[in-house]
Chains A and B, each alone.
Chain A
Amino acid sequence: GEDVEQSLFLSVREGDSSVINCTYTDSSSTYLYWYKQEPGAGLQLLTYIFSNMDMKQDQRLTVLLNKKDKHLSLRIADTQTGDSAIYFCADFMDTGRRALTFGSGTRLQVQP
């Protein structure tokens, strides 16, 4: 089945850029998402990218997609302490049950 992997932890200083990486296995993924989860809360959609795009920018967020290597990254510019959370990448395939497959999540810690 589909497998989505992420590094578990990232620590940055406030004001620096954060880059969270994700790899996936199924080349038929049509959309890839980034979600943010704060402690004890549900998931908040941050951004998404369609599989035929290489890059998408939305304010402080930049998503890069390397479809050949099946690699997705999320860059957060000028990281703030409020960005501390767990970030999940997820992919969607327009076949089968049409549910999202999530990575293991990356815990981002922003130090003041």
Chain B
Amino acid sequence: GAVVSQHPSWVICKSGTSVKIECRSLDFQATTMFWYRQFPKQSLMLMATSNEGSKATYEQGVEKDKFLINHASLTLSTLTVTSAHPEDSSFYICSAPTLGTGNGYTFGSGTRLTVV
């Protein structure tokens, strides 16, 4: 079945540094990728929608300059957390629609970011 590979699975970084998270669709093309953020014991909140070859669409309240999204190819989307702060610590998950809506969306395994 469809697989979305997300890396890294966890990362610890210092405040002020930037972290890049990658999501690759391994056996299908993903013209769209959704990026979610999940706080502990909470639901997934959609941050942005990345579109191959065009600018990402950000949800209200999400800083586009802080969370840079690039979707340079049909199989790769990246989220870069710039100038990270401890409040950016969270679980980030990407997702891509697969094989028609009824088959759902395939999710990456998530990246746990801890900013110290």
Write the residues of chain A forming the contact surface with B, with a CB cutoff of 8 angstroms: 30-31, 33, 35, 40-45, 48, 50, 88, 92, 94, 97-105
Contact = CB atoms under 8 A, between A and B. Distances in A.
Contact of A41 (B34, B46, B104, B109): B109
Interface of B: 6, 32, 34, 41-44, 46, 49, 57, 93, 95, 97, 101-110, 112
A30 B102 CA distance: 9
Contacts of B101: 30-31, 92, 94, 98
A99 B102 CA distance: 13
30 contacts: A30-B101, A31-B101, A31-B102, A31-B104, A33-B104, A40-B110, A41-B109, A42-B93, A42-B108, A42-B109, A43-B44, A43-B95, A43-B107, A45-B104, A45-B106, A48-B103, A48-B104, A50-B102, A88-B44, A97-B46, A98-B101, A99-B49, A100-B34, A100-B46, A102-B43, A102-B44, A103-B43, A104-B42, A105-B42, A105-B43
Main secondary structure of the interface of B (DSSP, over half): strand
A80 B73 CA distance: 42
Nearest to B110: A42
Contacts of A30: 101
